[in-house]
Amino acid sequence: MKKKTTYKTPKTARPHFSFKVEAEQEGGLLAFLTNHALKERSRTTCKQLLHDRFISVNDEPNTQWDYELRNGDIVTVHPSPLPKLLNHKSIEVLWQDDHLLMLHKKAGIPTVSSGEEKDKTALLLVSEYLKKFNPRAKVFLLNRIDKDSAGFVLMAKTAELQKKITDNWDKYIVRQQFAVSIEGNIADTQGYLAPPAEDSNDKKRKPSKLVQGSNTAGQARYTKLMQTEVGCLLSIDLLMGRNNRLRKQFAEMKRPIIGDWRNGSKRKDLGRVALETTGFSFIHPFTGKRYDFDQPIAKEFRRWLKQDPTNKQKDKI
């Protein structure tokens, strides 16, 4: 039986090393490692590093020794093995490096435990996945998506980075875009959503309404994409705030999100709400590079707008 390779992780994080491929260095990845990036290492050692997933090209793990490098490619040697793809029906790791991890989760799995969840959360699944390759690995949540909605979730790999990004949210998180199907009509094709009342039990506060501008977290801009007798499909850009508050905003407007029966939706049969992240962009705090992630609007969002909400027929996905 083949002995499993183990790696000892030091108490202090080891740096990674990145190399930019010049025009005269184009060619096979192994040749680049032995002749340039790791020329003090033997060819056998370089092949082993490739095999054990210590090498990435342009942020993607690469184990192919004869991979053809091009001018401008970035080759990185990492301090610990890069994990293989996470195989799970409800979450997909889209990208990661030594600092951050981006995933997409489907509706039905919580991002983080609410104290009552018995199922595994996305945060726990990712933590277990990373610990298989580095027992000291940790992840820290940067944004949250409700259990019954879907979207992008960004995680930091250190508590220090989590604090840096959350303390400077608007500097690093430059786009959060959502699609939502609501019950009821909105007259204007474009407009703004005001932040919801901070305390729904405070009767002195006025409910949310469509306004032009606000300086507090939760402000969003919407564009109407479709309208039927049932309601509207909207594309929404979150302008301020770390997490969207759309469910509360539309509930206060008496236009609940389809499937959000706790806030007045007539569709209790869906098992989810018609709310998803469709776009997320951030600036990497160490490299300054912008990363963009996009997801098409789910076909169900349009189909639900064509169905009679009083129809008893199940329409789960």
CATH 3.30.2350.10 given to domain 168-317: yes
- Measured between alpha carbons, how far is 139 from 101 in angstroms, rounded to an integer? 8
Confidence of residue 211 (pLDDT cuts 50, 70, 90): very low
CATH 3.40.50.1980 given to domain 17-77: no
Whether the per-residue pLDDT at 73 is higher than 50: the answer is yes
Question: Where in the chain are all domains bearing CATH 3.10.290.10?
Answer: 17-77
* Mean pLDDT score of the chain: 85
Question: Where in the chain are all domains bearing CATH 3.30.2350.10?
Answer: 168-317
Contact 131, 173 (CB under 8 A): no
251-288 b/e (C-beta count within 10 Å ≥ 16 → b): bbbebbbbbbeebebebeebebbbbbbbbbbbeeeeee
Nearest to 232 by CA among 188, 299, 178, 185: 185
**Domain at 83-160: CATH code:** 3.30.70
Write the CB contacts of 141 (distance below 8 Å, at least 6 apart in sequence). Answer: 111, 112, 123, 153, 155, 162
Per-residue pLDDT at 132: 81
Confidence of residue 86 (pLDDT cuts 50, 70, 90): confident
Per-residue pLDDT at 278: 97
Question: Percentage of residues in the chain with pLDDT exceeding 90?
Answer: 66
Question: Percentage of residues in the chain with pLDDT exceeding 70?
Answer: 84
- Measured between alpha carbons, how far is 80 from 131 in angstroms, rounded to an integer? 11
Question: Where in the chain are all domains bearing CATH 3.30.70?
Answer: 83-160
Q: DSSP string covering 268-312, please?
A: -SSSS-SEEEEEEEEE-TTT--EEEEE-PPPHHHHHHTTS-TT--
Confidence of residue 217 (pLDDT cuts 50, 70, 90): low
Give the count of beta carbons closer than 10 Å to the beta carbon of residue 307: 14
Per-residue pLDDT at 15: 57
